[in-house]
Structure 1
């Protein structure tokens, strides 16, 4: 699969809130670093992150721009509440080895009515 196709599958599974299957797109040693949080390392930890996050908020990824360059794919997205962000995915051998996401954590917590601690 081309990196863009892996990302398209990621979006599909994300929008189904399927943390189990979503984690299968990651390499065993993958790192998911949402810059508002500490990096999460390893497929199992990434699965636990998604399962926990899907229990917290009804998240949806609506792609606005997808850009592919070699092993990298960039996704600009919004959600149903018009929150916006951008994620960078490094994909090797059909698996995500690194993901970094940029979004506003305070706005996310306000939009989804989640308590925010400083």
Structure 2
């Protein structure tokens, strides 16, 4: 599957809050680095991350653009509350081996009424 197709499937699973389906899209030793957070390593840890995040807040990914260049796919997204971000997916042999996401954590926390960590 092309990276663009993987991302389209990823968005469908994300919008169903299906952490198991999402995790199956990653290689065993994949890394998911949402830049406001520490990197998460390994498929099972990525599954757990999604489970925890879906339990914390209702999240919806609305695709604005999906771009593809070789083994890389880029997702530009927004959500119904106005948050915007982008994600980079490195796909090898139909599995995500690396993902990096950029979004505004402070805006996310405020929009969902979640506690803002003190420094």
TM-score by length of 1: 0.99
Matching of residue 44 in structure 1 with residue 21 in structure 2: no
Matching of residue 18 in structure 1 with residue 18 in structure 2: yes
Cα distance in 2 for residues equivalent to 1:61 and 1:13: 10
* Cα drift, residue 82 of structure 1: 1.1
Query: 3-state DSSP class of the match of 1:21?
Result: helix
Gaps of 5+ in 2: none
Cα distance in 1 for residues equivalent to 2:68 and 2:112: 31
Cα distance in 1 for residues equivalent to 2:58 and 2:48: 16
TM-score by length of 2: 0.98
Matching of residue 63 in structure 1 with residue 63 in structure 2: yes
Count residues in correspondence.
Answer: 118
The CA RMSD measured in Å over matched residues stands at 0.5
Structure 1 stretches of 4+ with a deviation exceeding 6 A read: none
* Cα drift, residue 45 of structure 1: 0.2
Residue of structure 2 in register with 1:86 after alignment: 86
* Cα drift, residue 70 of structure 1: 0.4
Residue of structure 1 in register with 2:35 after alignment: 35
Gaps of 5+ in 1: none
Residue of structure 2 in register with 1:108 after alignment: 108
* Cα drift, residue 56 of structure 1: 0.5
